[in-house]
Amino acid sequence: MGEDAFDVDEFIDGYEVQQVSATVCMKAALVAEHQAADAAFNRAARDAGDVMHDPEVSRLRDRVGDLERQMEEASRTFWFKGVSYRAWHDLKRRHPPTDAQRRDNLDVNLETFTIPALVLCSSKPKINEAQANRLAETLPDGEIQKLAAAVWEANRDFLVPKSVLAAAIGGVGQSDRSLITAALVESLAADSSGDANGASPTTATTTTDD
């Protein structure tokens, strides 16, 4: 067997799909309080003469840390896996864009595609259709976009409309921004000039299926 030859069936059987996570805090008020405290801390640190010994900076730093611990306890992580080329494109074909969306260069109808995509690609926990619909009826738009961005990334489909990813990425806190994969950020930044609407902090990480 030549050095370039290998068993294709063995390759297929051993292929590990990518998995991407998105973390959502269940308490939106806590997220908002953290954002306000973090902004106040940054202002105080900027205005302080001696950051290390300024009592207000220390108080706000402790408050931000306490809120982050509370957010972590109130957060849940959703994992989404990549699916086969055939399964992904079959799903996209079942949700063709409207004429207006096609004029905007969209290749799927995001209004009907997102829920079944969450169901198809959910991994840990596995989400059924009823649960996906309840998520859509409960979570704000920014959080659903966050989950959707993880689905698109897991399938490495960078043709996803930039507005969807921009909205998800735009709301990420500075300390968490590095957790979004470089490929996703670079793809978005390459030629996107639109502003993003905010969403609560997220954690996005990737791994391969065990």
What pLDDT score was predicted for residue 50? 78
38 inside domain: yes
Are residues 194 and 169 in contact, defined by beta-carbon separation less than 8 angstroms? Answer: no
Strand order in the sheet with 75-81: 122-124, 75-81, 18-25, 206-208
What pLDDT score was predicted for residue 4? 79
What pLDDT score was predicted for residue 96? 95
192 inside domain: yes
What pLDDT score was predicted for residue 206? 63
What pLDDT score was predicted for residue 178? 37
1 inside domain: no
Q: pLDDT averaged over consecutive 10-residue blocks of the chain (210 residues)?
A: 80 93 94 94 87 87 94 96 96 96 91 96 97 95 94 77 50 40 41 40 57
53 inside domain: yes
What pLDDT score was predicted for residue 27? 93
9 inside domain: no
- Tell me, letter by letter, the H, E, C secondary structure of the chain: CCCCCCCHHHHHHHCCCEEEEEEEECCHHHHHHHHHHHHHHHHHHHHCCCCCCCHHHHHHHHHHHHHHHHHHHCEEEEEEECCCHHHHHHHHHCCCCCHHHHHCCCCCCHHHHHHHHHHHHEEECCCCHHHHHHHHHHCCHHHHHHHHHHHHHHCCCCCCCHHHHHHHHHCCCCCCHHHCCHHHHHHHHCCCCCCCCCCCCCCCCEEECC
What backbone phi and psi angles, to 5 degrees, belong to 137? -85, -15
124 inside domain: yes
Q: Which residue range is the domain that position 159 belongs to? A: 18-208
Instruction: Name the domain count of the chain.
Output: 1
Rounded CA gap, 134 and 199, in Å? 19
